[in-house]
């Protein structure tokens, strides 16, 4: 697994913890991403260990993420907020904070989040 892929998955952990509950659906999505990125067992363990305690946006290591990786992260984060079937106002606010932290321009971030939310709504039956 590439370092930037691990950084993307680890950066999703604060989003999963947004409501103070790292729910099973969120864990399943992170595990699916680890599988998609072909993580080794050690890499999976490291991500699981990292996710075992609550993380915040401050725990995201920006230097590990290219401009493209940051946009992928934002798209994945939007999908993650729909894991329980709906995106809460608190999750939406956190996504906006994430976009700011990732230094994605406001208009681009909003367009990215809107497009990802539309995709998530169409795929809710799979999440």
Please report how the helices 24-36 and 67-81 are oriented relative to each other, as an axis angle in degrees rounded to 10.
140
Maximum Cα interatomic distance, the chain, rounded to a whole number of Å: 39
pLDDT band at 127 (very low <50, low <70, confident <90, very high): low
Tokens of 37: 């990125």
DSSP 64: G
* Model confidence, pTM: 0.91
* Angstrom distance (rounded) from CA 40 to CA 82: 27
Q: Which residue has the higher pLDDT, 49 or 122?
A: 49
What's the confidence (pLDDT) of residue 17?
92
* Angstrom distance (rounded) from CA 9 to CA 43: 11
What's the confidence (pLDDT) of residue 8?
96
Q: What is the pLDDT of residues 13-50, one digit of tens each?
A: 999 998 888 889 999 999 999 999 999 999 999 999 99
Percentage of the chain beyond pLDDT 90 is 80
**What's the whole-number average pLDDT of the chain?**
93
């Amino acid at each position: 697994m590439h370092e930037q892929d691990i950084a993307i998955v680890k950066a999703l952990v604060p989003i999963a913890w947004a409501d103070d509950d790292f729910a099973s659906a969120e864990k399943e999505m992170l595990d699916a991403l680890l599988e998609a990125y072909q993580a080794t067992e050690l890499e999976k363990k490291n991500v699981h260990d990292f996710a075992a305690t609550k993380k915040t946006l401050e725990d995201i290591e920006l230097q590990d993420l290219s401009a493209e990786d940051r946009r992928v992260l934002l798209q994945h984060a939007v999908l993650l907020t729909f894991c329980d079937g709906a995106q809460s106002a608190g999750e939406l606010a956190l996504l906006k904070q994430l976009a700011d932290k990732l230094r994605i321009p406001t208009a681009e971030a909003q367009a990215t989040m809107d497009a990802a939310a539309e995709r998530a709504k169409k795929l809710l039956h799979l999440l």
